[in-house]
Chain A
């Protein structure tokens, strides 16, 4: 088990390999569909210091506003990442992001982006909303809440020992491709 704290350096990201189990600490920035379209098309400057060497988490949380005005995360598992395939490589390049957390894996374009930028794709357990929300220790900030709505806003959170698995690395390897090829081969045998 590897323990990493954000911000992550390019060197640290490049040292990670497919199959590594990692516990993430420090800040994560949440973003999904609308946010990715916005980042690719408008390239907002204000996000640059927030995202540099950071990890983006594909997640639309269930949140609760506390009486003192602060926020809590109630459920916060990963959403399907492949929807961000058209955007992710450009986002990582523009903002020098070192990691993306999601579920289901991503495609060739993102894989090439990981190699170019020096970043990794972390997989979290889909559906584990309560378990992963318990690792979110504090909601630090939220951007574009009004404009995008709570599932799509840029939430900045602090996590402790957030459990993920590296399924795509900066050397072009992808666990998703390996499993896909294996299952296709077995399906062929089943339907011969």
Chain B
């Protein structure tokens, strides 16, 4: 139906010309306790919701070109690529589910987490007004939508993680994680008799395969998996999301784990689930695994599934206030 699109995003000049940040903007890093990064976070959201990272695009194109031309899986991957180009060109959300908005802020000593969180919430409200984000925050039992993407009472949304570090710069990472893929995440407690998984790397492998088979196309495959081995139920899941911030194609610093990631990615792509679960050779784009310590009695394998539209980005505010995006 559609011609095979060559994926070229708009140039960085165009992206910058549409920026909400004034030209040669610098954050005032001289007074950390009253630092205001609201506009910078707004720009971070704008870029993330409409522009997919290049490594994800490259992986989708590689997957498409490995499918038989004209097949359902080829056409589906090609539609994904066409969608990426449209969203980038129009500066509109890649997907109507702009997700749970998750932030990781790493900052030097002296910054007010309370103020930064407030600024992130302001940027979320403004992004929602501009239709860059869908109002995605509803009261659990009544289903009533807060309308502005904020959890007014418990500050459950957006999700903001803080960590103080020794560096002088500030790093704000963001992930927009859709509900469909969040729903197919899974946590296994090993040993797991039902899937024959013991407390070793072979057991971890079985858990991952089981989760992907259960997910089928429902997490919008081809997905990217974040896997945490160990931790408790909370820290394991948290870590399994954070590892999805890694770029596809980058090495795991642990050579054994790196080999495991490559092998399991290969194996998962023989399952035949394919893009959107229509069948095909591209079921996952990558698997990222991190090992944590654990309580001797607990052995959790926590798996987060990220859809093909892996919207993530990192903003760095340098020591002299210059802002860059990666």
Contacts and interface: CB of A to CB of B under 8 A. Distances in A.
Interface of A: 1, 19, 21, 33-34, 59-64, 74-77, 79-80, 82, 103-105, 123, 125-131, 133-134, 148-152, 163, 165, 167, 175-176, 178-180, 182-184, 186-187, 190-191
A123 B277 CA distance: 10
**Highest count of chain A CB atoms <10 Å: which of B80, B134, B209:** B134
A34 B1 CA distance: 35
B189 interface: no
Question: How big is the B interface, by class?
Answer: 35 or more
Contact of B277 (A129, A149, A176): A176
B276 A183 contact: no
Would you call the interface of chain B mostly helix, strand, loop, or mixed? Answer: loop
B94 A179 contact: no
Interface of B: 1, 72, 76, 79-80, 82-83, 86-87, 90, 92-98, 131, 133-136, 138, 143-145, 147, 178-180, 183, 195-196, 205-206, 209-210, 213, 216-218, 220, 267, 270-274, 276-279, 307-309
Contacts of B218: 80, 82, 103-105
Contacts of A182: 272, 279
Contact of A186 (B79, B95, B271, B276): B271
Contacts of B97: 60, 77, 79, 129
A130 B86 contact: yes
A76 B135 contact: no
A105 B143 contact: no
Nearest to A125: B79
Contact of A105 (B87, B195, B209, B277): B277
A186 B267 CA distance: 10
Given A21-B1, A176-B277, A187 B271 contact: yes
Which applies to chain A's interface (DSSP): helix, strand, loop or mixed?
Answer: mixed
Contact of B131 (A1, A63, A104, A128): A63
A131 B2 CA distance: 12
9 contacts: A62-B93, A75-B92, A82-B218, A103-B180, A129-B92, A130-B92, A133-B92, A133-B96, A151-B135
A123 B179 CA distance: 18
B87 to A, nearest CB: 4
A130 B93 contact: yes
Contacts of A59: 96
A162 to B, nearest CB: 12
A8 B276 CA distance: 26
